[in-house]
Amino acid sequence: MFDTKIAIVLRNNLQSWQTLNVTAFLMSGITGQNPDITGEAYKDRAGNLYNALSIQPIIVLSANDEAISTIHRRTLERGITASLFIEEMFATGHDAANRAVFAEYAPDDARVVGIAIRADKKIVDKITKGATMHR
């Protein structure tokens, strides 16, 4: 049904609140980069309107430190624009602070806790090789 795939890969040692927080932030980046994946608003039987949601399924995966670093490197090597969340962003409180702390790191020293990509299905599968279904 879809030529593309959305995958979110989370480091496997995050606390529950961190997993949920990072997933939400990463998906907002995918949606911002790809506004065409947002469908129509939802309406219930009573006529109440609700926000539109993604028209495309999203797979959430888990990986250890080494695998998530490899996945990060693969996205860069293939020129895929990704949403990335690094560990230091947990200590900030707003977007400007997130971007400032993010800018202090390069791919070789970033402590990645989550990455999200949307690309051709086969490319996403190759990039995320080594990650497993999140539990």
Task: Give me the CATH number covering residue 103.
Answer: 3.40.1490.10
pTM of the model: 0.94
pLDDT per residue as tens digits for the range 86-122: 999 999 989 999 999 999 999 999 999 999 999 999 9
What's residue 8's pLDDT?
A: 98
Report the alpha-carbon angle 27-9-28, nearest 5: 10
Does the structure show a pLDDT above 90 at 1?
no
pLDDT per residue as tens digits for the range 23-56: 999 999 999 999 999 999 999 999 999 999 999 9
What's residue 82's pLDDT?
A: 98
Question: Which residue segment(s) compose the domain that 32 sits in?
Answer: 4-133
Rounded Cα distance, 40 and 54, in Å: 9
- DSSP letter (8 states) at residue 40: P
Does the structure show a pLDDT above 90 at 135?
no
Burial label, 36 (beta-carbon count in 10 A; 0-12, 13-18, 19+): exposed
**What is the CB neighbour count within 10 angstroms for residue 4?**
14
pLDDT category of residue 77 using cuts at 50, 70 and 90: very high
